[in-house]
Amino acid sequence: MRDAYIVSSVRTPGCRRNKGAFKDTRPEELLSFILNAAVEKVPGLDKKEIADVMIGCAFPEAEQGLNIGRVASQIAGFPETVSGATINRFCASGLEAIAQSAMRIMAGWSDIAMGGGVESMTFVPMGGNLPRPDPDYSRQHPDLYVSMGITAENVARRYEVSREDQDEFAYNSQMKAAEALKSKSYTEIVPTPAVKFKRNADGAYRKETFLQDFDDGIRPTTTLEGLTKLNPVFSIGGTVTAGNSSQTTDGAAATVLMSEEKVKQLGVSPIAKLKYYTTVGCKADEMGVGPRYAIPKLLKMAGLEVSDIGLWEINEAFAAQALYCIRELGIDKYMDRVNVYGGAIALGHPLGCTGAKLCAQLVNRMRERGVKYGVESMCIGGGMGAAALFELCE
């Protein structure tokens, strides 16, 4: 089986739902821009050589519906011959899209493919515009449709993750992100055009565009004391708050993958290889434990141990679930390798984009630090986990 090489992996900033810089920017605009940006990072790459554009989206409807993988690539000016598709595995959608593109290359079906993700939680809310759970099944199994916040409360209670530890974890995420923002360490971000509407004197609105170049959910002024004062938002007497949960966010990310033959033909310097990818199911009412099972499965496939992994991107859907997984797997011995520039609590969790966003963050950190192996992992709504192993190219 052939190797799949990542030659470009970039993202837009992540911006707060309804309040952030992208609140008036449609998801197709975010995605089409970052698709072009990813291609432009690869010298000599012609769009017509790309076989397919696979895009993850957790709620592919309304403005991000109608097969946004195809629509956005056409808006981006890709030739009609370049196909596109949209895939949904909730929080792992972006990673799934990259993995499926990699598998096409590994199988010899394509030489160049793209994977990515997009989510505008401003335009399409969490849960979608018209959720319709199966009425018969949900009577017996309401856990499949339960609020993600309740699943985090379940994890915290069942596995004894204290409020104090959750708040400390959240504080550290914000501080790492604040330092990275200050030092301009997010090299995977491409300054992205954003839209805003201003009202004229006659009452009409005009459309204006500006460049957004940072994650606007980072809160450098966060304090532990402030976090401890926040009330739980999902359960009376609970421990999960807005401060120790991921932010709902708008954003997009894209990755270009190639076969070794194409890398050599174009004279491209690849960043990393996607070596292994896996998913696993778990109880829906504690979906946050997904990485606890996906990561060991991944490492067994690769013949590696936790100690072999130089960098981790473990999605911080909630501090409770991230902490539980990190502790249970013994990754807490290597916290200096985990989410080194902050995680979703500070940077946001744009659902279907997150898997692609974490890929961009991880492989660029690996290159900067010369780390051989990196793993990204996340829990998934409905009771699943996903994990992928990347190997740095020398």
Q: Which residues does the annotation mark as catalytic? A: 91, 349, 379
Q: Which of 173, 167, 202 is nearest to 315 (CA)?
A: 173
Within a 10 A sphere around the Cβ of 85, how many other Cβ atoms? 16
Closest listed residue to residue 178, CA positions, set 121, 219, 148: 219
Alpha-carbon distances of 19 from 170, 182, 196, 203, 357, rounded to whole Å: 21, 22, 12, 22, 20
At 334 the three-state DSSP class reads helix
* 303, 351 contact by CB (below 8 A): no
Residue type, position 368, single letter:
E
Phi, psi of 144 (to 5 degrees): -65, -25
Cα 269–chain centre separation: 24
DSSP string, 27-82: HHHHHHHHHHHHHHTSTT--GGG--EEEEE-SS--GGG-S-HHHHHHHHTT--TTS
Report the run of H or E that residue 177 belongs to, with start and end.
Answer: helix 163-182
